[in-house]
């Protein structure tokens, strides 16, 4: 153990290969050392490398940590050099995220264009075909026609069909592309924080005011506003942070709180177009 404490493997590819060799020879102390090193060195650059190790060897805590990095630092992951060496299946995992931290879908478009360009001269000539499953998760319908027209990912005919498609008429959309029109943007997080602050942080229950009953309690503790399941879910998230300042909440917890209020049919949530 003391010997391992003196060793630091800084390169994520070297560290991942070290883990594979340690696992091959079933060297427990080396395996434990590599796990600790990967958790300590996990960041937006190393996340794709360590995710693939965690996925192959079922290292669940490391895999979950990598997924959290994918969600919270998506844009940084996409521009890293390590992303260019990622397996197409890992890229698809990132592109499938419901709440990535991106500006627009163009972040995904540019990332996959860069990936194809970087890997086009490799021995594997089918790189564009292998990342097509990831491409199918890009929500082109949330982009402007001018942005769509510039991409090298689609043929001229496909670009035309995407630009002619709309939420009301998807018949012209190429069949392998996403028809999802819900925007994925980090700007939505700030808007959700703003909308939630009005009620989540309040000690006054607006629902009970409308009913002209006692309203001197937080709305998320109210049996009239929420059912028991939702109240328990909100309580669990609140107790994890011990405060109502949702800007500090993880993206997944922020979205969970927002979704609970949305399901309770709060009128003010309708102002957020997603």
Per-residue pLDDT, 254: 83
Burial of 51 (0-12, 13-18, 19+ CB in 10 A): buried
Strand segments (E) across the chain: none
Could you tell me if residue 157 is inside a domain? Answer: yes
pLDDT, tens digit, 9 for 90 and up, residues 218-256:
776 777 767 788 888 888 888 888 777 777 887 778 888
Could you tell me if residue 175 is inside a domain? Answer: no
Same domain? 106 vs 207:
no
Per-residue pLDDT, 116: 95
Give 3-state DSSP helix, strand, coil % of the chain, rounded to 5: 60, 0, 40
Same domain? 159 vs 55:
yes
Per-residue pLDDT, 270: 45
Residue 128 φ/ψ, nearest 5 degrees: -65, -40
186-211 b/e with 16+ CB inside 10 Å = b? bebbeebbebbeebbeeeebbbbeee
Could you tell me if residue 174 is inside a domain? Answer: no
Could you tell me if residue 80 is inside a domain? Answer: yes
Same domain? 149 vs 199:
no
Could you tell me if residue 112 is inside a domain? Answer: yes
Same domain? 82 vs 117:
yes
Same domain? 46 vs 138:
yes
Same domain? 47 vs 123:
yes
Domain around 127: 42-164
Per-residue pLDDT, 271: 42
Same domain? 146 vs 220:
no
Could you tell me if residue 114 is inside a domain? Answer: yes
Per-residue pLDDT, 268: 42
Positive/negative CA dihedral, 36, 40, 41, 47 = positive
Please state, in angstroms and rounded to a whole number, the distance separating the CA atoms of residues 109 and 105.
6
Could you tell me if residue 56 is inside a domain? Answer: yes
The number of distinct structural domains making up the chain is: 2
Please state, in angstroms and rounded to a whole number, the distance separating the CA atoms of residues 151 and 140.
10
Same domain? 53 vs 93:
yes
Same domain? 61 vs 158:
yes
Same domain? 56 vs 102:
yes
Could you tell me if residue 88 is inside a domain? Answer: yes
Same domain? 222 vs 119:
no
Please state, in angstroms and rounded to a whole number, the distance separating the CA atoms of residues 81 and 241.
34
Per-residue pLDDT, 196: 78
Positive/negative CA dihedral, 24, 26, 27, 29 = positive
Final residue of a domain: which of 148, 164, 180? 164
Same domain? 72 vs 158:
yes
Give the CATH number for residue 124: 1.25.40
* Residue ranges of the chain whose pLDDT lies below 50: 267-274
């Amino acid at each position: 153990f003391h010997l391992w404490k003196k060793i630091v493997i800084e390169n994520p590819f070297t560290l991942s290969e070290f883990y594979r060799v340690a696992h091959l020879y079933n060297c427990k102390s080396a395996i434990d050392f590599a796990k600790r090193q990967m958790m300590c060195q996990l960041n937006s650059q190393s996340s794709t490398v360590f995710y693939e190790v965690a996925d192959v060897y079922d290292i669940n805590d490391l895999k979950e940590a990598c997924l959290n990095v994918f969600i919270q630092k998506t844009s940084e992951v996409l521009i890293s050099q390590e992303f260019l060496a990622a397996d197409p299946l890992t890229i698809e995992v990132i592109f499938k995220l419901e709440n990535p931290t991106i500006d627009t879908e163009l972040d995904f478009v540019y990332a996959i264009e860069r990936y194809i360009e970087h890997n086009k001269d490799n021995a594997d000539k089918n790189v564009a075909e292998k990342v097509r499953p990831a491409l199918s998760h890009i929500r082109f319908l949330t982009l402007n026609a001018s942005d769509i027209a510039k991409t090298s990912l689609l043929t001229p005919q496909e670009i035309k069909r995407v630009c002619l498609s709309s939420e009301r008429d998807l018949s012209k959309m190429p069949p392998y592309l996403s028809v999802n029109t819900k925007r994925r943007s980090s700007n939505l997080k700030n808007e959700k924080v703003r909308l939630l602050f009005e009620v989540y942080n309040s000690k006054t229950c607006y629902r009970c005011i409308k009913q002209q009953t006692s309203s001197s309690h937080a709305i998320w503790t109210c049996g009239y506003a929420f059912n028991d399941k939702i109240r328990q879910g909100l309580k669990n998230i609140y107790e994890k942070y011990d405060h109502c300042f949702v800007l500090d909440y993880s993206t997944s917890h922020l979205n969970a709180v927002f979704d609970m209020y949305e399901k309770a049919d709060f009128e003010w949530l309708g102002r957020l177009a997603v």
